[in-house]
Amino acid sequence: WYGLKFSADEKKLYASGANDNIILVYPIINKKLAPADTLVLGKRWPAEKIGPTGLEVDDAGKRLYTVTKENNSLYVFDLSTKKLLHRVNLGAEAYDCLLSPDKSKLYISLWGSDKLAVYDTKTNRVTNEIFTENHPNEIIQNRSGKYLFVANANDNSVSVIDTQVGKVIEVISTALYPTRLTGSTTNGLALSEDEKILYVANADNNCLAVFNVSTPGKSRSKGFIPTGWYPTNVRVAGKKIFVSNGKGFNSMANPYGPQPVKKTDNSGVHVGITEQREVQYIGGLFKGTLSIIDQPDDSKLESFSKQVYANTPYNKQTETLSRGLKDNPVPNIQGGKSPIKYVFYVIKENRTYDQVFGDMKEGNGDPNLCLFPEKVTPNHHALAREFVLLDNFYVDAEVSADGHNWSMAAYANDYVEKTWPTSYGSRGGTYDYEGSRKIAYPRDGFIWDYCKRAGVSYRSYGQFATKDGATLESLIGNIATKYPPYNLDIMDIDRITAFKSDFDSLLAINAVAQFNTIRIGNDHTSGQRIGKLTPTAQVADNDLALGQLVEHISNSSIWKESAIFVLEDDAQNGPDHVDAHRSPAFVISPYTKRNSVNSNMYSTSGMLRTMELILGLPPMSQYDAAAVPMSECFTSTPDFRPYKVKPSNVDLKQRNIAWNKSAERSQDWNFAREDAAPDLDLNEVVWKSVKGEDSVMPAPRRSAFLKLEQKDKADD
């Protein structure tokens, strides 16, 4: 996804081979790419974890330089012999590298840090470091090489560096408003041909920021240009601006999304579709696009800027004054009073609205897509009816990799967004998105870090935890150690038994945390793996666990001061007739408007904003600052009636027993971590479980950023 360079004579194109750990060298013959030669950094993933990213070429010196994001190194090759000359440890994940015009220096952006490394190409060592802001990525320079421009994704900024003194002389803020909140995700740069105008790709603002940089150190904002979704790069050729949009132009419905159960399991509960169609997996719905824009004059740029602001719900005022309601249990300002003192935040796995609630006539559901109707999920249905049915709630993420970041930080940074498609597309990469790798952290941490700074007590039950303990420093000493982490072999009802024990012990000493995260994820399912619980059994287990959790809290002495929020981290594993991101969600409290249907558009970020306002926390990103809190789900007149759990109607111990090709394929998949199994292979198994083992799944839809191929077992 990064690392392309033409030779000076334009007869060769060098391309980073990413987790194949090679550099591809394409001859260009008659304006076409010929079969590539290779420079080998090491063995292919997973034998060696290297991951080249940016690269540079010194044609005259016969040198190629490339930097890596897995073993955090600089590699120097001799182009005449194709041999590796030097490998230099950089100390952090690297993104880009750029030679000075005289080829004496190589500037390297340390993506996992906040600085550039300066490498002397004569002495072959790093001689200086220049501090930038957080997550420096792309580097460009003017033709003389006097000034460098460095995009900083986590700080919404560009560092301007005077190379003669080796210092930052100004920091350009690229956000639409003056804010420290992350969420612009600055990640691409280009200068106009006269070098007076700088174009900056703001991935998460879906725009270019435009600056007059004719006098570096005294740069001036000129405006903004709207783009597609998640612009990752910008280039200028003549009077044309070229922008790559990583997520295309829009989201969409996926009524033919993957299904995790088979109709022939004799449970008598499924309603789902029978016609054979192309599977619309969410990871493949966003097709990359290229925008070609005429360089605007001042009048057109003013019009463009107005459009960008109109497209953006965030503004500075929303940081302190939310879009909520006055005189509501959810304060509309940070620090406002609320009768709710205890928040329980439940994170589940990968279901769409239609899969669970498609049979509910009260809401906007498609019964043809409902696989887990009321017979399988009686508690989901009862909770939606007794409290509030939300039929217009959307998760902000596509898959679990970004989903757990969105769910805990209202943001997934550029490392997360740019690496999960590679991993999920079976092209190598480790699942390191739940606190296990610092480069994936938001700049200011996750919601627990905000609680810690604000003096709000918190506790985690299985979220960002492993069998060895917490994955985040802020969670050390704040996790329930006897609560099982993610593991599909452990029933969710057993998790809730552990929760009850821990909760009761804390309640007895008046020590229940103000903010509690609770992970129950067996609605993910194990597919058709032989001997594993069937998808229906696992979803029913998850349903009963949720009902037991709500029943227990609602019968406790703190129920009158409590609210329970429930969502899926993502909706990747199913179809929905409205949008692939629409998902079940719950607001459960004495202060919930009982027996209501709410069709307001809410999101993951909006749910987080609601909890933040109750707890007195500030927003974590531009997304939750802008999101509409769920105030209209609440009333100032409480109803303290407890919830009574509904018994399960299906066999919670039913296991996959049919041995067929799908079961055989499922045997070697890793279900110990969410989404570790190859999604598209799992989708085919799911297809056969629904349509029959002899059915043929239609050809998968191949998206620009998701390559489909068999995933190595060792990738897990």
CATH number of the domain enclosing 532: 3.40.720.10
Domain boundary among 131, 165, 184: 131
**Does residue 248 fall inside a structural domain?**
no
Question: How far, in Å, CA of 54 to CA of 75, rounded?
Answer: 11
Domain boundary among 598, 613, 633: 633
Question: How far, in Å, CA of 360 to CA of 237, rounded?
Answer: 54
Backbone angles phi and psi of 626, in degrees to 5? -85, -25
Backbone angles phi and psi of 199, in degrees to 5? -105, 130
**Does residue 623 fall inside a structural domain?**
yes
Contact 634, 498 (CB under 8 A): no
pLDDT at 707: 30
Domain boundary among 617, 633, 649: 633
In 3D space, the residue among 633, 628, 594, 541 whose CA is nearest the CA of residue 348 turns out to be 541
Query: What's the 3-state SS for 459-511?
Result: EEECCCEECCEECCHHHCCCECCCCCCCCCCCCHHHHHHHHHHHHHHHHHCCC
Q: How far out from the chain centre does Cα 606 lie?
A: 16
> Contacts from 70-77 at CB under 8 Å and sequence distance 24+?
70/19, 72/112, 74/106, 74/108, 74/117, 74/119, 75/41, 76/124, 77/23, 77/39
Q: What is the pLDDT of residues 169-228, one digit of tens each?
A: 999 999 999 999 999 999 999 999 999 999 999 999 999 999 999 999 999 999 999 999
**Does residue 639 fall inside a structural domain?**
no
> Domain span at residue 534?
316-633
pLDDT at 249: 77
**Does residue 250 fall inside a structural domain?**
no
The residue whose two tokens read 């420290």 is 180
Q: Count how many domains the chain has.
A: 2
Backbone angles phi and psi of 78, in degrees to 5? -90, 115
183 to 180, 205, 452, 608, 625: CA distances (angstroms): 9, 7, 22, 15, 10
pLDDT at 528: 80
**Does residue 655 fall inside a structural domain?**
no
Q: Which residues of 449-478 are buried (b: 16+ CB within 10 A; e: fewer)?
A: bbbbebebebbbbbbbbbeeebbbebbeeb
Non-local (6+) Cβ contacts of 626 within 8 A are 312, 313, 314, 315, 318, 605
Q: How many CA atoms, within 13 angstroms, populate the side-chain half-sphere of residue 489?
A: 7
Question: Where residue 35 sits, what CATH number does that domain have?
Answer: 2.130.10.10
Question: How far, in Å, CA of 194 to CA of 236, rounded?
Answer: 11
What is the full DSSP assignment across 603-645? EHHHHHHHHHHHHTPPPSBHHHHHSPPSGGGB-SS---PPP-P
pLDDT at 274: 44
What is the DSSP secondary structure assignment for residue 263, as one 8-state letter?
A: T
Tokens for 232, please give them. Answer: 């990752």
Non-local (6+) Cβ contacts of 318 within 8 A are 619, 625, 626
Contact 226, 304 (CB under 8 A): yes
Contact 15, 2 (CB under 8 A): no
**Does residue 645 fall inside a structural domain?**
no
In one letter, which amino acid is 298? Answer: D
**Does residue 613 fall inside a structural domain?**
yes
**Does residue 697 fall inside a structural domain?**
no
Question: How far, in Å, CA of 306 to CA of 670, rounded?
Answer: 49
Which ranges of the chain have pLDDT less than 50? 263-276, 680, 683, 686-687, 690-691, 695-716
Query: What's the 3-state SS for 4-17?
Result: EEECCCCCEEEEEC
The residue whose two tokens read 């940016």 is 54
* pTM value > 0.85: yes
In one letter, which amino acid is 448? Answer: W
